[in-house]
Amino acid sequence: MRLSIFLFLCAVLFVCPSCTTTDTVRFDLYFLNASIRERTLGFIEGATVSLDLCVYDISDPEVLRALAGKVAQGVAVRVVTEADNLAELGLLTRELEVVVDDDRGLMHCKYMIADGKQVWGGSTNLTKTSLDNHYNDIFIASDPFIVRRFQNHFEHCMNGLFKGDRPSAQDKGSIYFSPEDLPFNALMNLLSSAKEEVLIGIYAFSDYRIAHFLKVLSAHGVKIYVFADRGWNQGSPYSQSVEVDQYALLRYDLLETGLMHHKFIVVDRSAVLFGTYNFTASAETKNDEYLILSREASVVERFRQRFFELWKASE
């Protein structure tokens, strides 16, 4: 009964999709094999006054050296990170202002703010494998609204306000922090607008609600493509890949030493959602995450091109 009600609501959404916010923010985008490491280290090196990091994991030796160098230069470095990964910061914890996440879920965000003027973010962790081996993306943005939204989120976290403690932003723009800004609703609203094509690049896909809604879209003639991480989706009993494979074009990565770690959706060549949010219930309710909606043509097209690069590489 619950599933029938859900599918009915999905059908209603399909017929009467909610309007989503149009964004006019420009993003510089980079993917694996397109200078992710260099751009990330350059971002850190460019900080002259302050550097705020809200990241799941920090263990890459070059990144740790760069952070130590910033501290030595007198740059104020603050870190919010996942408690389980704190030890990887080593002796740097003595020199940084560090706050660890609570135990209600993961601190799964990945972003940095330099001098209160520029934001680095995306799907990339600050680890050697994530920077060098995984299929990932990063963005760099200096738009004041983007910076302010991320800075506000960071200050909440520095004050110990995590999932369920932070208020939802009255002016979200096109940035949705989980759980307070309901990124799942933004995701479903975007999917409900699809008329021709949905491209999904995802690491973990276990949310049955998204899978069933994609089935509804497919029944209405929308072509669904899903490119997913092989290891997680073929190894987890919670994966929806078997369900999705019945009505979508599904492929897995062929990486031997890395992960398909992207999390993005491109709809009808008109909009893209990207960030840290996997298709899991934990991403919606337990973890600290974010999604960004962009309708900027260049951003949408870059992600679309990236999708089909990965798609063809998996043949």
* Catalytic residue IDs: 108, 110, 115
Query: Cα separation of 291 and 278, whole Å?
Result: 10
SS3 284: helix
C-alpha 313/C-alpha 279 separation (Å) is: 23
In the structure encoding, which two tokens stand for residue 271, read together? 């909009």
Q: How would you class 314 by CB atoms within 10 Å of its CB: exposed for 0-12, middle for 13-18, buried for 19 or more?
A: middle
Place of tokens 């509804």: 216
DSSP state, residue 314: T
Q: What's the CA gap between 203 and 162, in Å, rounded?
A: 24
d(CA 290, CA 228): 19
CA distances from 121 to 56, 110, 128, 276, 290 (A): 12, 6, 16, 9, 10
Q: Which two tokens stand for residue 90?
A: 């080593």
CB atoms within 10 A of CB 109: 27
Candidates 306, 293, 275, 283; CA nearest to 190 is 293
Contact 223, 249 (CB under 8 A): yes
Please check whether residue 253 is in contact with residue 314, taking contact to mean a CB–CB distance below 8 angstroms.
yes
How many distinct helices (H) and strands (E) make up the chain?
Answer: 11, 14
Cis before 179 (ω within 30)? yes
Spell out where the chain has E strands. Answer: 28-31, 50-55, 76-81, 97-100, 110-114, 118-122, 137-141, 175-178, 197-202, 223-228, 249-252, 263-267, 271-275, 289-294
